[in-house]
Amino acid sequence: MLLRHTPSEIKERKALNVNPAKTCQPIGAMYAALGIHGCLPHSHGSQGCCAYHRSTLTRHYKEPVLAGTSSFTEGASVFGGQANLVQAIDNMFTVYNPEVIAVHTTCLSETIGDDIPQIARKAEADGKIPKGRFVIHASTPSYVGSHVTGFSSMTKSMVDYFARFSGKRTDTINIIPGYVEPSDMEEIKRLAAEMGVKNIMFPDTSNVMNSPQTGRFEMYPRGGVTVEALARTGDSSGTLALGKLASSAAARALDIKCKVPCEILDLPIGLNNTDLFIDALRKMAGVSVPESVNVDRGRLLDIITDMHQYFYGKKVGLVGDPDHLVALTEFLVSIDMWPVHIVTGTPGKAFEKRIREITREVPHEVNVGAPGDMFLFHQWVKNEPVDLLMGNTYLKYIARDEDIPLVRFGFPILDRVGHSYFPTVGYRGGMRLLEKILDALLDRKDRDDPEEGFELVM
């Protein structure tokens, strides 16, 4: 394998990324758009771009991802894509009848400077957009940011296009879940429901990207936040945004546009961050925490106590998205594991500072790459081996080459099934995450133990 030729000697690289730990903005924008009920995402660019976006999401979620494309050719690249997009809007509303078309741009359309709002206005003036139907857009060039920033831009567009203040506040709380699995969104809504909190989650890919098999084809699954609900977010009494990079832009836009106060938290991964989420939800909604939620918390705490001896002092290498890595690093440090190599492909100056703060008590040098790539991460692992790797599917090559256990976490996970159905957020998600970590560590211990150390009981 090519990765076996990765040298241990680290040299500075300024103009070359090798195996970047991210995907492109349009993928995140497409995923966010799928969280609107009756929405058909549209890639304003070439067919090849759209095929990549769709196939990556399909391979991760094991669900068919439907989207339109402007199908750029050489002519559109030179003269602009207006004619292509107007025709595409007409075709999609005529043939597929979505409630919303969510347009995201690609490198090519951004480079030539297509004005999407102007094109949408022309389509409306030409009668291509039926009454009661909508076209929204987000600017998502692939040469800027990552799939997380694309998700953020499309989520903010939901506020820009739909949120309205009617003049009367409600007791509803908006929840922006961040770039997480549909199973995580379901768990966040379940916790809010347990606490009796009326909420609007946006985007919401639960029952869209993990919909049940019924034997009937549904162009638009039952899940997703409705346009009506998005409009009502402007009347809500508050917004909880989970994951600073993915969710804060939309929350702040809603505050500016409709004066809905917001609180921005880390993803509720692990005991402490879930506590902070529950407490913020309790205060914002003015409710009490029910015993059922306390029971879940107590179970997570009990599992941490039972497993702690196997976690203590284990070194971990992490690759993923900034919001995931911040919350996951906090969780691992809280159970006395040592994250020592941490890489994200998403640019952001605040990330390294935050990780340094979280790992300041770790009794080991901590390497942080932001943005970094998996080539650098592999070199770090070669120079300082770890006990566990956590990250997306592409880490499996490094795990195999260096003979290190791997726990798949984040996006994309292409070679396993279940992540879209089983959460890793909240107290129940924390239990599952701990089980996966412990299984990986003890499976390695069983593999390597001599006969006299091959124990039947922990």
Residue 394 has phi, psi (to 5 degrees) of -65, -15
Highest mean pLDDT among 345-349, 392-396, 452-456: 392-396
Residue 307 contacts residue 243 (beta carbons within 8 Å): no
Amino acid at 371: P
> Tens digit of pLDDT for each residue in 171-223?
999 999 999 999 999 999 999 999 999 999 999 999 999 999 999 988 999 99
Instruction: Flag whether pLDDT at 458 surpasses 70.
Output: no
pTM of the model: 0.95
Among the listed ranges 4-18, 300-314, 364-378, which one has the minimum average pLDDT value? 4-18
Confidence at 42, pLDDT banded by 50, 70, 90: very high
pLDDT digits (tens, 9 = 90+) for 269-283: 999 999 999 999 999
Residues with Cβ < 8 Å from 240, sequence gap 6 or more? 173, 174, 175, 176, 262, 263, 265, 277, 280, 281, 284
Q: Average model confidence (pLDDT) for the chain?
A: 95
Judge whether residue 347 has pLDDT over 90: no
- Note the pLDDT tens digit of each residue in 228-244: 999 999 999 999 999 99
Provide mean pLDDT across the span 296-305. 97
Nearest residue to 328 (alpha-carbon basis) of 144, 180, 171: 180
Q: What residues does each domain of the chain span?
A: 25-144, 173-292, 301-452
User: Do the two domains 173-292 and 301-452 of this chain adopt the same fold?
Assistant: yes
Report, at the CATH architecture level, how domain 173-292 is classified.
3-Layer(aba) Sandwich (3.40)
Query: How does residue 315 score in pLDDT terms, banded at 50, 70 and 90?
Result: very high
Average pLDDT over residues 102-129: 94
Residue-level pLDDT at 3: 62
Lowest-pLDDT choice from 11-15, 144-148, 363-367: 11-15
| pLDDT tens string 366-422 | 999 999 999 999 999 999 999 999 999 999 999 999 999 999 999 999 999 999 999
CATH for the 25-144 domain, from 3.30.230.10, 1.10.1270.20, 3.40.50.1980, 3.30.70.20: 3.40.50.1980
Q: What are phi and psi of 233, to 5 degrees?
A: -60, -25
> What pLDDT, on a 0 to 100 scale, did the predictor assign at position 15?
80
For 131-200, give the secondary structure using H, E and C.
CCCEEEEECCCCCCCCHHHHHHHHHHHHHHHHCCCCCCCCCCEEEECCCCCHHHHHHHHHHHHHCCCCEE
Give residue 78's pLDDT: 74
Q: Is 245 exposed, middle or buried (CB count within 10 Å of its CB: 0-12, 13-18, 19+)?
A: buried
User: What is the average pLDDT across 250-255?
Assistant: 98
414 burial class (0-12, 13-18, 19+ CB within 10 angstroms)? middle
For the chain, what is the radius of gyration of the CA atoms? 23
- What is the side-by-side strand order in the sheet with 173-176? 199-201, 173-176, 238-242, 262-265
Partners of 39 in beta bridges: 100
Please name the helix (run of DSSP H) or strand (run of DSSP E) that holds residue 259, with its range, or none: none
- pLDDT for 312 equals 97
Model pLDDT for residues 49-97, shown as the tens digit of each residue? 999 999 999 999 999 999 999 998 877 777 788 999 999 999 999 999 9
Fold of the domain built from segment(s) 301-452:
Rossmann fold (3.40.50)
